[in-house]
Amino acid sequence: MLTSHELFGFMSPNLAGEIITFTFESDKPVYRATLNAVAEARHLRPVFLERQPKPRRHAAMIATLARPALDLVAGSLIRTWLLKKHKAMLVDFLNTLGIKNEEGVVENLPESMDDVKLKSAIETLLAKYPPEAVAVYLNAFNDMNEANWANLKSILESDPRLQLGAGV
């Protein structure tokens, strides 16, 4: 199971760039907060990053988001991307598990999940969505929630389709 900053370190540069670009285009306050946190971590003024060409700026942001000190910022960015761009994936997963949710958001998660239900839900996601996005979601889901299901952790560690960085 990977933390948010580790997800940025292991996901493909294309997916990391997609997350940053999506946030830039759809949620300026989150993008701005991320840019400011990255500038602070690099001991720069935000305007220095803002003046760089977008590809160079985003590459610097991605590299910095992979640092442990930026785990909270990376988590916020991933959550925003998941809730705004991949809401259908979140809803599909929770509905397949039989967990009551409101557009992918859950009040209370069960402490554990049946192996058969969990495997079925994961197969549903992998059949419908890009495997790397599914892997990021499932890692984030298990890391960011109190439930921390041991069987999900085991699947994330053993299923080659859910391994980040394997094809890079």
166: confidence class by pLDDT, cuts 50, 70, 90: low
Alpha carbon distance 45, 56 (integer Å): 16
Q: What is the mean pLDDT of residues 152-162?
A: 93
By CB atoms closer than 10 A (0-12, 13-18, 19+), residue 59 is middle
Q: What is the mean pLDDT of residues 140-158?
A: 86
Q: What is the pLDDT of residues 10-69, one digit of tens each?
A: 999 999 999 999 999 999 999 999 999 999 999 999 999 999 999 999 999 999 999 999
Alpha carbon distance 36, 48 (integer Å): 11
pLDDT of residue 168: 42
- Between 168 and 14, name the one with better pLDDT: 14
**Residue 81 confidence (pLDDT) above 80:** yes
pTM higher than 0.85: yes
Contact 132, 18 (CB under 8 A): no
